[in-house]
Amino acid sequence: MADDVSFAKSCFPLQEHVIEHLARRSDSFRELCRDFATANQFRQTLRDCSDPSEAAQHAEFVQLVEDLRAEIANAIANASVVPFRRQSSNPPRT
């Protein structure tokens, strides 16, 4: 699991504990983090390309990395929301 989320944790260092918590509880979040790391690896591989088709692929991976980063940020934000119980308008009878 550490490899799946290590890149996400490096991008969101203040949220490492939230990322670890989400990864333990959600296969889909782990997969999202894995996709994020993989897309970033391809982006880096294509960064210094001279072939125009590879330059277009690089641009696509740059966008994909940013989209996945936004998805992870959204998941972190949603996980950080603590729901409050609504108090009953009728107090308990004694």
Residue-level pLDDT at 85: 67
The amino acid occupying position 10 is S
Residue of higher predicted confidence among 54 and 5:
5
Q: Quick: pLDDT tens for 42-83.
A: 999 988 888 888 888 999 999 999 999 999 999 999 986 666
Q: Quick: pLDDT tens for 8-53.
A: 999 999 999 999 999 999 999 999 999 999 999 999 998 888 888 8
> CA-CA distance, 66 to 80, in Å (whole number)?
21
> CA-CA distance, 41 to 21, in Å (whole number)?
24
Q: Rounded to two decimals, what is the model's pTM?
A: 0.80
The amino acid occupying position 76 is I
Q: Would you state the structure tokens that stand for residue 57, as one six-digit string?
A: 């692929």
**Domains of the chain by residue range:** 2-79
